[in-house]
Chain A
Amino acid sequence: MDAAEAGARFTELYERHHAAVYGYAVSRAGRQLADDIVGDTFLVAWRRLAEVPATPLPWLLGVARNVIRERYREEVRQASLAAEMRAWVDEAGGDVADGVAERSAVLGALARLGDADRELLTLVAWHGLSHRAAARVVGCSVATFAVRLHRARRRLEQAVSTADEVVRRVPSALSVKEFSR
């Protein structure tokens, strides 16, 4: 692969997948850190272009996952993500379309789940990954992934039920709870 070919291949990789990598970075670490994570992820892809598989997205998200783990301390990521999740609930609440309450409730519930559950659910629901691809991102077998996703989904259902009651009674309870449990 000569320099021009590598450049063309990288540019195509970038054009096709940068939005997905950005979305993943926002969902894992918040907008505040997302640009840097995307930059570092594609820098890795550029340096290891020969290793990028035919279906690049799971590989790219796996790299992004490692970049997040290596660059940021857990509490920094969590603080940024907490701010991000509040913005999601606010954004959904400001929407005038039908199903606003349902959307706020599911996003609020998602914010109250454990981090691992949230990762599995969003990989499938927001990043459009098959179980096989998502399993590759988090580094487990497809069977293990299916079991973990099933549990995560059940916990999300439970969290939505409790969120419904909270939302009905005190509209602002979600964000307050998130700050100061």
Chain B
Amino acid sequence: MSRRRDVLQVLSESRPARLDPGDGRFDPAAVTAYPRPEPDRPAARRVARCRLVLAAGLVPALAAGALAVVVAVRPDTFPTPRPRAAAPSPAPATARQLLLTAAETVGGTEVGTGRYWKTVVEHGDVRQVGPSGGRYDVVQRMRVDTWYATDPADRTWVFVQSLGARPLAAADEAGWRRAGSPTRWGEVSTSSGERRLRTPEGLDPARNYLLGGRPVTLAELSGLPTDPAALRAALLKRQAGGSESDTWSLFWSATQLVLDLPTTPQVRAAAYRVLAGLDGVTELGPVTDPHGRSGMALGYTRRGDGGLAQLRLVVDPGTGLALAQESWDAGTGRLLSYQAVVDATWTDAAPPKA
């Protein structure tokens, strides 16, 4: 240290020029065009909006009507309603019933094991593009294959492949055509990329997984209780000291347990039962997930820094599998991002060569 200059000083002088915005100036008017809440009655407004969204889940038949009210805010960017499943499983009447059914189905499957826990997840991020006055949404898609090693002697592999961007819904496709069907918007393009090895630096194989945003080991995941009340307590204990509400952090953690974490079917069933016991989780009816599979959607709405946000979980009641998670802006009715679990399985196979 004595022979060197101060490392923070060197770091300050090494600030990359890429941190400075380019010439593509953002117009503040694009933000101020959005409505602001009434300054004197923000709380009242918030509750009213909340009820609207929550009511939608109580009676699935009413959901379309309630959503239509949201659509009125920005009809140009709201995705077209997804078609009903061709041969839907008997639809449980409420979120609770749907989750308990999923718990029963998944709880009967066998405990797996293998050299790797392999997940294939398609990530979608929605971005607004196009000229002012002719904006439309495109979804930028990325496929992430992860081979989580269970043996400390093995290493974990993460492969990332861009699947390219495409217009989100029919209305966006029309907007895209009007704009002359461009294939590139800044760093976003319609063409897909090659699969690349992108294992993040510093990934500790012993603490590979994230539960509720915090690292968790395979042993800790395997040791989670299979009793719903005990699981609920264990999940809350993990999140202690966080700034989130209990219901939200439970919804978040339990959703990850059923989606793509290497837990036993019994823990997964308990996670569904934890979700079934949460206030404010509503059923949104049959949907097709971003990967084209039929399922039922559940939603949980909360006020985050990004506005009124709704996290949705898509479940296939027939198999008890969680298919996808979607993040919606419940204020504008826009889809923000999704993660569709294409595969989540134990395997003894070797990861592909980079």
A contact residues vs B (CB 8 Å cutoff)? 1, 6-7, 10-11, 14-15, 18-19, 22-23, 26-27, 31-33, 35-36, 38-40, 42-44, 46-47, 49-50, 63, 66-67, 69-76, 78-79, 82, 84, 87-88, 91-92, 99, 102-103, 106-107, 110-115, 121-122, 124-126, 139, 153, 156-157, 160, 177-181
The chain A residue with its CB closest to the CB of B305 is A66
The answer to whether B26 touches A39 (Cβ under 8 A) is: yes
23 contacts between A and B (CB under 8 A): A10-B32, A11-B32, A14-B31, A27-B19, A33-B125, A36-B125, A42-B31, A47-B307, A71-B336, A71-B337, A72-B125, A75-B144, A79-B144, A88-B16, A102-B10, A106-B7, A113-B202, A125-B12, A126-B11, A139-B243, A160-B4, A160-B10, A181-B201
How far apart are the CA atoms of A31 and B155 in the complex, in Å? Answer: 29
How far apart are the CA atoms of A75 and B120 in the complex, in Å? Answer: 12
How far apart are the CA atoms of A138 and B43 in the complex, in Å? Answer: 27
The A/B interface has a contact count, at CB < 8 Å, of 165
Interface: B309 (CB within 8 A): yes
Q: Chain B's nearest CB lies how many Å from the CB of A49?
A: 7
Chain A residues, Cβ within 8 Å of B210: 74
How far apart are the CA atoms of A22 and B26 in the complex, in Å? Answer: 11
Interface: B20 (CB within 8 A): yes
Cross-chain contact of B11 among A74, A110, A177 (Cβ < 8 A): A110
Cross-chain contact of A126 among B12, B123, B127, B197 (Cβ < 8 A): B12
Chain B residues, Cβ within 8 Å of A66: 304-306
Interface: B18 (CB within 8 A): yes
The answer to whether B28 touches A92 (Cβ under 8 A) is: no
Cross-chain contact of A156 among B11, B32, B34 (Cβ < 8 A): B11
How far apart are the CA atoms of A74 and B155 in the complex, in Å? Answer: 19
How far apart are the CA atoms of A72 and B144 in the complex, in Å? Answer: 13
Q: A36-B125, A114-B202 are in contact. Are A107 and B14 (CB under 8 A)?
A: yes
Q: Chain A's nearest CB lies how many Å from the CB of B287?
A: 20
The answer to whether B327 touches A71 (Cβ under 8 A) is: yes
Cross-chain contact of A91 among B16, B203, B306 (Cβ < 8 A): B16
How far apart are the CA atoms of A92 and B337 in the complex, in Å? Answer: 34
Interface residues on B, range: 35 or more
How far apart are the CA atoms of A110 and B37 in the complex, in Å? Answer: 41
Q: Chain B's nearest CB lies how many Å from the CB of A79?
A: 5
The answer to whether B28 touches A42 (Cβ under 8 A) is: yes
How far apart are the CA atoms of A130 and B163 in the complex, in Å? Answer: 41
Cross-chain contact of A23 among B20, B200, B202, B336 (Cβ < 8 A): B20
How far apart are the CA atoms of A18 and B31 in the complex, in Å? Answer: 13
Scan residues 1-33 of chain B and give those whose CB is less than 8 A from a CB of chain A: 1, 4, 7-8, 10-21, 24, 26, 28, 30-32
Interface: B65 (CB within 8 A): no
The answer to whether B31 touches A31 (Cβ under 8 A) is: no
How far apart are the CA atoms of A92 and B17 in the complex, in Å? Answer: 9
Q: Chain A's nearest CB lies how many Å from the CB of B325?
A: 9
How far apart are the CA atoms of A1 and B39 in the complex, in Å? Answer: 8
Chain B residues, Cβ within 8 Å of A38: 26
The answer to whether A78 touches B336 (Cβ under 8 A) is: no
The chain B residue with its CB closest to the CB of A30 is B18
Q: Name 11 extra pairs, CB < 8 A, besides A91-B17, A107-B14, A160-B4.
A: A10-B28, A22-B21, A26-B16, A66-B306, A74-B213, A91-B16, A112-B201, A156-B11, A160-B7, A179-B198, A179-B199
The answer to whether B18 touches A88 (Cβ under 8 A) is: yes
Chain B residues, Cβ within 8 Å of A32: 187
Q: Chain A's nearest CB lies how many Å from the CB of B192?
A: 15
The answer to whether A125 touches B125 (Cβ under 8 A) is: no
- 3 nearest A-B residue pairs (beta carbon): A23-B19, A66-B305, A125-B11
Q: Chain B's nearest CB lies how many Å from the CB of A22?
A: 4
Interface: B152 (CB within 8 A): no
The chain B residue with its CB closest to the CB of A49 is B36
How far apart are the CA atoms of A156 and B5 in the complex, in Å? Answer: 13
Interface: B102 (CB within 8 A): no
